[in-house]
Amino acid sequence: MLPRKGDHASMSRVITPEDIRAFADLGGDRNPVHVDESFAAKTRFGRPIAHGMWGATLISAVLGTQLPGPGTIYLGQTLTFRAPVYPGDTVTAVVTVKDVREDKPIVTLETVCHNQRGERILEGEAVVLVEEVP
């Protein structure tokens, strides 16, 4: 069943140093700002930060498991990174239905991630195909 405009869902997760290392290993992005404390201490952040795409992965988890849910296929995603994510931060991804096409099962959603202080760390828009799987 297609979602309706205004429907929303969210998921929260605490980012750990182990998550950052696993993400670096999985994707191959071993930028030292993420995985080297000595290097990261010299940057504007002062300590390691999570990969920006980690937040996007949390959005993907909401889309594929909650809203629209299983069978959802990504067609596109825009992202703007607003603030860093540090180990120990709780990141909440929220997706909200903006539009549902009448001619096809295509849904446009606002996608936002914020931290435990309510700061937006990531925002964008997703377009997905909602495939009903029997």
The string of pLDDT tens digits covering residues 64-109 is: 999 999 999 999 999 999 999 999 999 999 999 999 998 999 999 9
Q: Is the pLDDT of residue 3 over 90?
A: yes
Mean pLDDT of 28-49: 96
User: What share of the chain in percent tops pLDDT 70?
Assistant: 100
Supply the pLDDT for residue 2: 87
Supply the pLDDT for residue 134: 74
Torsion sign, CA atoms 17, 18, 20, 24 = positive
Domains along the chain with CATH numbers: 8-130 (3.10.129.10)
Q: Is the pLDDT of residue 23 over 90?
A: yes
DSSP state of 38: H
Sheet hosting strand 8-14, strand order edge to edge: 8-14, 90-100, 106-114, 120-130, 72-81
Mean pLDDT of 111-115: 98
Q: Where does the pLDDT of residue 57 fall: very low under 50, low under 70, confident under 90, or very high at 90 and above?
A: very high
Alpha-carbon dihedral 58, 63, 69, 71, rounded to 10 degrees: -110
Q: Is the pLDDT of residue 133 over 80?
A: no
How far apart CA 48 and CA 88 sit, in angstroms, is 11
DSSP state of 6: T
